[in-house]
Amino acid sequence: MKSDDVRKVKLKECLSQRYKSSRDETFLGTIKPRMGVQGLTTFLETHQQIYRDVQFRMSRLVIDGCNLLHLLYFDSGLDQNHGGEYAAFENQVEKFIAALRACEIKPYVVLDGGTDPTDKKLETVTQRAEDRIQRAHLAAVGGSQENIMPQLAKMVFKQTLARLEVPVAKCYGEADQEIGALANELNCPVLSSDSDFYIFDLSAGLLPISHFQWEALEQSGSRCYIPCKNYKTSNICILFNIQPQLLPAFAALAGNDYVKLQRMESFIRWAQFCPASAVKPSRLEGLLCWLRSFHQPQEAFEAALGLMGTLSGKRKAELLQGLHLGMEEYRLPPSTLKRFFLHGTAPPFPAEEETAGLVPDWIRLPFTQARLSSDILDVLLLQRKNLGYPVADADTPSAYLSSRPIRQVMYGLLLGCRGGPVQERDRKGLHLKFIPVQPALRGVAEQLQLNSLDKAEASQRLQVLLEALGVTEASLSCLPTRLRLLMAVTCYWMQRAQPRPNDRLLRALLLGVANSDALRRRADLQIQNQKLNVGVAHAFSQWQACMKDSIHLNQLLGYPLPEPQIAKLYEGTVVHNLVHQMRTRKMKRLKYNPSSVIQYKAMLSVVHQSLSQEATKPSVTQKTPTSPRRQHQGDLTTSLQQLFLQYEDDEETATEAYSVVRAAQDRDLDGLLSVKTRYKARERINSGYNPDLVLKKELRWVDVM
């Protein structure tokens, strides 16, 4: 066995042991994105009597958006390692919303926002980022499913909900308390898997996602309903005979995201307080039993510290403060989102003195509408940004290096003259690093101010975006507006990605864009135990990183270009398989309609022209003459692009137009063809007067590769 293979095997064994505990927290295939009270969900699953079976219908429902995202992607068995199955994910979201509407359930989806400026969860966030880096490496080298969310899945989730007109709101910070407060004010339950919701006092209770059988609709009379289970805090209090006001104290003593009491665990073995009849004594059951003799949190806290032996006054005060802080996280404030959902009014931004004035007022509404990235608040308030960690071999550099210049423009717009770098939390090998990145303003961007960015001229905002991507408006003018940002990003990727993507990767990407629906249905393009090519994965991860950062910049600039619908234009599993088949020469001729061919060739020519212009920019004193033949070919390419733009929605006319252009191309290349090929070319030219014949002979099987 090679030394590299030995190293990878040892690393996999080490990491598998390291993450055993986190996998123990997995239920129904879903790792909870926020752990809350560790082990609580698993513990309560062994006490099914705390749940009540319900037939859920005709109700409002507040949904933990982060949990739903993970449920719909991971529990659907979608591919995680080849860049995402976004079309299938979109379909899952559509089916979920259709199930709710069939039962007359009105959803309100609430998403997390920026990082807590107090950094109370910094240790937790850092640990999870490090864990994800390790798991992403395991997935790349071993092919295992490590629950790594594809980079653009969250964007597909939000785009699909917006298209379906589902009410969505993004909080300024973490969403848990706002979700609970909103549910109480709307008098409806919460749908989530986060164990914190077992502690919140929810008037209509919690519907655990693990028991929400939305794919198994049943009918009672003429109405449909979703079979599920409902949980209320009174259930656990009755079962373990504790006072309701002690539940937050229980969560704090058990340890949650905000309270790290591992040292307390080394002093107090809560399992010793389990009843003798307990089949499998656990720390959580022991802690609940121990709390029976108390009525108020304060007395329970002091008694718990007494079990730790002699403590200094300072140490005791620190522990008490931490326990009270942890308990306060379960106090529900008045909802700030109710007015937004009912009247479209954005909530006020928290008025902490240290953050006052850093966030312009105009940002509040689009941010709450989930039309701006959460990272905007992190940059404005903390000058920090967390980057993604896609499936990648640790030996490859971070996929986000290629898109850094795009983010630098965004940092420049956000921070203006405030100065100072943004600390990017990125991967370096298998390690998490903070990397200082300086904001950058150049060109038109230097003329804009964040406070008035929403009022800037549309032409200025468009120019900032195009300058950041290194393309011109003229180079994209031959394309329909829905493809312009996607193609600008692709041109940028071809110039910035390292190593530079070869033409095979580009053609696979564009072929997937032009023929996404047809290719997804091809059985021979499905993932079938194909080992991940880490080089191809790295290239397309860079493309997704460029797309993600470009969309965020486009959002900040007020959408000067329409946002690409990711699920319609990119499928990671398809492009990986196309590259594989091209490389192994097993590529079959693919059947396309004429408009797809025109679209493909138009996009390909845009990228090639962009690369050519970048590579052969003449000096001021030097001019390169253009040969008549090359000039004529350029005119034909322009004609092809213009035809696509003109007839993209008219397939019959596009077919005729395509045949004419192809006939002209064949005539121009006639001198370069073999005798046999020249004969076929002439036959196509002669049949150019009969578009129906062209459609049958020329476009029945088109090999665009």
Count of C-beta atoms within a 10 Å radius of residue 638: 14
- Is the pLDDT assigned to residue 108 strictly greater than 90? yes
- In the prediction, which pLDDT does 616 show? 64
Asked if 635 and 663 sit in the same domain, the reply is: yes
The last residue of one of the domains, among 328, 351, 382, is 328
- At residue 227 the predicted structure's pLDDT band, cuts being 50, 70 and 90, is very high
Of the pLDDT bands very low, low, confident and very high (cuts 50, 70, 90), residue 257 is: low
More confident residue, 322 or 299: 299
Q: Cα separation of 205 and 188, whole Å?
A: 8
Confidence of residue 613 (pLDDT cuts 50, 70, 90): confident
Domain that holds residue 28: 24-239
Residue with more model confidence, 35 or 83: 83
- What is the rounded distance in angstroms from the CA atom of residue 339 to the CA atom of residue 337? 6
Using CA atoms of 236, 240, 244, 249 in order, give the dihedral in degrees to the nearest 10.
-100
Closest by alpha carbon to 35, among 331, 254, 213, 357? 254
Verify that 113 and 135 share a domain, yes or no.
Answer: yes
Are 303 and 414 contained in the same domain? no
Residue 314's pLDDT is what?
86
Can you give the pLDDT at residue 17?
46
Check pLDDT > 70 for residue 262: no
Model pLDDT, residue 24 = 34
Is residue 17 one of the residues assigned to a domain? no
In the structure, what pLDDT confidence band is assigned to residue 371 with cuts at 50, 70 and 90?
A: very high
CA-CA distance, 247 to 232, in Å (whole number)? Answer: 12
Domain assignment of residue 107, yes or no: yes
Helix (H, G, I), strand (E, B) or coil at 384: strand
Q: Are residues 39 and 158 in the same domain?
A: yes
pTM, two decimals, is 0.86
> Which domain-ending residue is among 276, 298, 328?
328
Query: Would you place residue 417 in the very low, low, confident or very high pLDDT band (cuts 50, 70, 90)?
Result: confident
Both tokens assigned to 23: 């996998």
pLDDT at 322 (0 to 100): 85
Is pLDDT at 664 greater than 50 in this prediction?
A: no
**Residue 125: predicted pLDDT:** 83
The string of pLDDT tens digits covering residues 498-522 is 999 999 999 999 999 988 777 777 6
Categorize the per-residue pLDDT at 423 as very low, low, confident or very high, splitting at 50, 70 and 90.
Answer: very high
> What pLDDT was estimated at residue 642?
53
What percent of the chain clears pLDDT 90, i.e. is strictly above it? 62
Residues 410 and 298 in one domain: no
**Residue carrying the six token digits 């665009």:** 704
For the cut 50, the answer to whether the pLDDT of residue 622 exceeds it is no
Please tell me the total count of domains within the chain. Answer: 4
Phi-psi region of 614 (alpha: psi -120 to 50; beta: other; left: phi over 0): alpha
pLDDT at res. 350? 80
Residues 262 and 160 in one domain: no
**217-221, 252-256, 456-460, 538-542: the lowest-pLDDT one:** 252-256
Indicate whether 591 pLDDT > 80. Answer: no
Predicted confidence band at 231 (pLDDT cuts at 50, 70, 90)? very high
Same domain for 311 and 380, yes or no, is: no
pLDDT at 47 over 60: yes
- Does residue 340 fall inside a structural domain? no
Domain annotation covers residue 497? yes
**Residue type present at position 671:** G
Residues 595 and 490 in one domain: no
CA distance 579 to 537: 11
Show the tokens assigned to 105: 């359930």
**What CATH number does the domain containing 226 carry?**
3.40.50.1010
Q: Which of 297, 313, 328 is the last residue of a domain?
A: 328
Q: What is the pLDDT of residue 587?
A: 64
- Contact status, residue 199 vs residue 43, Cβ threshold 8 Å: no
Q: Would you say residue 355 lies in a domain? A: no
Residue 110 sits in the same domain as residue 170: yes
In a domain, 576, yes or no: yes
Identify whether residues 472 and 400 lie together within a single domain.
Answer: yes
Mean pLDDT of the chain: 83
Identify whether 155 is part of a domain: yes
Residue 347 and residue 339 in contact, taking contact as beta carbons nearer than 8 Å: yes
- pLDDT attached to residue 460: 97
Identify the pLDDT of residue 264. Answer: 62
CA distance 466 to 481: 14
Asked if 475 and 553 sit in the same domain, the reply is yes
- Encoding tokens for residue 330? 């379960």
Q: Which residues, including other chains, have CB under 8 Å from residue 2's CB and lie 6 or more apart?
A: none
Let me know if residue 663 belongs to a domain: yes
**Contact indicator for 533, 607 with CB cutoff of 8 Å:** no
Nearest CA-CA partner of 513 in 483, 473, 549, 541: 483
pLDDT-derived band at 638, boundaries 50, 70, 90:
low
Q: How far is CA 591 from CA 439, 515, 588, 595, in A?
A: 47, 10, 9, 12
Both 102 and 38 in one domain: the answer is yes
Phi and psi angles of residue 690, each rounded to the nearest 5 degrees, phi first: -120, 90
What is the residue type of 13? E
Instruction: Say if residue 499 is preceded by a cis peptide, omega within 30 of 0.
Output: yes
Mean pLDDT over 355-368 rounds to 89
Summarize the confidence of residues 532-559 as an average pLDDT: 97
Is the per-residue pLDDT at 266 higher than 80?
Answer: no
